[in-house]
Amino acid sequence: MVWIILEQKLKIFLKGCEKLVIMSIGNELRGDDGLGPLFAKKFSKIIENSQYVAVIDGGMVPENFTSTLRDEKPSHVILIDVVEMDETLGQTEFIEKERIEEYNVSTHSMPISFLIKYLETTASFKIILLGIQPKSMILGDEISPEIEKSVNNLNNTFKKILMELKLI
C-alpha cells in the first residue's frame, strides 16, 4: 500500500517534467546512511541511456554538486536521504521543503533545508525530498536488509513511473 501511495505522489510531483535530476545523499560508512550511494549506483544503470533523467551521488557533501545539478538544467529535482521520522524502518515519505526542518534529516555537513534554499536562489525547478526511515547510522555498520529492500523497491517504483512518463 505504501508503494502505491508513493507512486501516486511521484506521478503528481513529476507532472510536466522535462528533465529530472535525482540527487542521492549519504555516507556508505554509516550503516543505513549508505542508502544514497547505493541507490545512485543501482539506478544509474537503469537510466544510463536517458537524456531526460540524471542521477548524482551527492555523498556526504551534496553542496559540492550544486553546479553539476544546475548544469543538467532540470525541471524537477528529487533529493533522496535517510530521515529520522519516528516511523517504521524503511518507511518512505515525500517531505515537502516547508516541512524538512521538522525532521532530523542527515549527518552531513550542511542541513538539507539550507541546500534546498541555496538551490532555489540559483535555479528554477520543482524540488522535493524523499526520506527513508533508517535503522542505524552508526559509523562502521552495514546497510540493514530492510533499507536494501527499500532501495530495490524505490528503484522499481522510479523505473515504472519514469517509463510511463517516457523519461527512460
Q: CA 101 → CA 46, 51, 98, distances in Å?
A: 32, 33, 7
Q: How confident is the model at residue 87 (pLDDT cuts 50, 70, 90)?
A: confident
Give me the domains of the chain, ranges plus CATH numbers: 2-164 (3.40.50.1450)
pLDDT at residue 109, as a whole number: 61
Please give the average per-residue pLDDT across 119-127, as a whole number.
88
The pairing of strands 92-95 and 126-132 is antiparallel
Please give the average per-residue pLDDT across 32-58, as a whole number.
94
- Nearest Cα neighbor of 132 from 114, 154, 112 is 154
Q: How confident is the model at residue 79 (pLDDT cuts 50, 70, 90)?
A: very high
pLDDT at residue 50, as a whole number: 93
pLDDT at residue 83, as a whole number: 87
Please report which helix (H) or strand (E) contains residue 130, including its range.
Answer: strand 126-132
Q: CA 147 → CA 40, 89, 115, distances in Å?
A: 14, 8, 24
Cβ atoms within 10 A of the Cβ of 130, count?
Answer: 22
Cβ–Cβ < 8 Å for 76, 109: no
Sorted by sequence, the CB contacts under 8 Å of residue 45 that are 6+ apart come out as: none
